[in-house]
């Protein structure tokens, strides 16, 4: 009788482990924190002066809020804020003046990278322009650095950048 109980318990535990292996989602990377740009490790291209020098994020299981501080075209610092959900729904945030950003976010299958797909609707000096792009966020150096790879396309051309931020 004792052996039968051990066999039943073993079968039960094996079943639980197998079910868990197929139903548990991988843990998502947590980008929460204050991140400062390291220009020497970044590849910023022609718009290096306008790259966010500071990114602050607060992340929950279902959403992330992002605050980016960068130089504007007039040389002053400007901070933009956006709140994104991880369900792919589009969010609209203000940039400067009448300019807006439409964006959505999602995760890679392994939960290690977050992708933000966006469209910038720029209004500047009476001119309208549209920039479409994608950012892929990941962590490196045991979570001490955040890497943001950005690919964008507009009437100004295509731009690929890599921004490396250090956790503060």
**pLDDT given at position 10:** 47
Q: How far apart are CA 156 and CA 8, in angstroms?
A: 67
The pTM of the full predicted model, rounded to 2 decimals, is: 0.82
* Residue extents of the structural domains in the chain: 27-167
Dmax of the chain from CA atoms?
85
The residue ranges of DSSP E strands in 7-124, in sequence order, are: 33-37, 54-59, 63-71, 77-85, 91-94, 100-107, 114-124
pLDDT greater at residue 21 or residue 168: 168
Region 110-139 average pLDDT = 94
Q: How confident is the model at residue 5, as a pLDDT?
A: 55
Superfamily name and number for 27-167: Calycin beta-barrel core domain (2.40.128.20)
On whether the CB atoms of residues 31 and 137 are closer than 8 A, the answer is: yes
| Contact indicator for 101, 113 with CB cutoff of 8 Å | no
For residue 13, the SS3 value is helix
Percent share of the chain, pLDDT over 90: 69
Q: What is the pLDDT of residue 49?
A: 86
DSSP string, 112-149: S-EEEEEEEEEEETTEEEEEEEEEEEEEEGGGTEEEEE
Instruction: Return mean pLDDT, the chain.
Output: 87
pLDDT tens per residue across span 145-164: 999 999 999 988 999 999 99
User: At a CB cut-off of 8 Å and minimum separation 6, what does 97 contact?
Assistant: 123, 124
Encode pLDDT of 9-66 as tens digits. 445 444 444 444 444 567 999 999 999 999 999 999 887 888 999 999 999 999 999 9
């Amino acid at each position: 009788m004792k052996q039968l109980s051990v066999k039943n318990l073993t079968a039960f535990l094996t079943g639980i482990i197998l079910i868990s292996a197929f139903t548990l989602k991988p843990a998502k990377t947590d980008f929460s924190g204050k991140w400062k740009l390291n220009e020497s490790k970044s590849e910023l291209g022609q718009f290096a002066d306008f790259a966010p020098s500071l990114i602050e994020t607060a992340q929950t299981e279902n959403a992330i809020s992002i605050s980016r501080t960068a130089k504007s075209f007039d040389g002053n610092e400007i901070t933009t804020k956006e709140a994104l959900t991880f369900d792919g729904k589009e969010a609209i945030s203000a940039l400067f003046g009448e300019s807006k950003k439409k964006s959505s976010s999602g995760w890679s299958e392994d939960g290690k990278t977050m992708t933000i797909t966006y469209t910038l609707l720029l209004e500047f000096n009476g001119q309208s322009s549209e920039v479409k792009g994608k950012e892929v966020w990941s962590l490196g150096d045991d979570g001490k650095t955040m890497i943001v790879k950005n690919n964008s396309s507009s009437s100004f051309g295509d731009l690929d950048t890599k921004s490396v931020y250090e956790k503060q």
